[in-house]
């Protein structure tokens, strides 16, 4: 399951860990964001070693975390991460951003996960 990150403090706490964290910066009104959302969720299930985050909660799966950030609900985090287009996926390890992908590309999203694991 992918959680939404609600605050900048929560975001900072999640990305500070040793695991690879994949952050999906999204918006409810963004068509490409809605298109890629089920793929992001599927990748979270497939790559149990990565953390996938949506900025609104984060759930840890093995060594990778997947989370999401709603840019409208969590403007502070979106601004701090310099998000100017959605969807934007940022990859973090040890508190540092190690890569970024702009756009709804399953191949690009998964390719970067594999390269960074």
The answer to whether 67 touches 52, Cβ cutoff 8 Å, is yes
Give SS3 for 53. Answer: strand
Catalytic residue numbers? 30, 33
The answer to whether 10 touches 69, Cβ cutoff 8 Å, is no
Q: Spell out a b/e string for 55-87, using b for 16 or more CB atoms within 10 Å of the CB, else e.
A: bbbbbbbeebbbbbbbbebbeebbeebebeebb
For residues 44 and 24, what is the distance between their CA atoms, to the nearest angstrom? Answer: 11
């Amino acid at each position: 399951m992918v959680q939404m990150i609600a605050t900048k403090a929560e975001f900072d706490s999640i990305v500070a860990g040793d695991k690879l964290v994949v952050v999906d910066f999204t918006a409810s009104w963004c068509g490409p964001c809605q298109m890629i959302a089920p793929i992001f969720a599927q990748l979270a299930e497939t790559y149990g070693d990565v953390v996938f985050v949506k900025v609104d909660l984060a759930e840890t799966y093995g060594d990778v975390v997947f989370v999401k950030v709603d840019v409208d609900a969590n403007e502070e985090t979106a601004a701090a991460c310099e998000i100017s287009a959605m969807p934007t996926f940022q990859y973090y390890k040890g508190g540092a951003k190690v890569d970024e992908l702009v756009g709804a590309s399953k191949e690009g999203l998964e390719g970067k996960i594999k390269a960074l694991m």
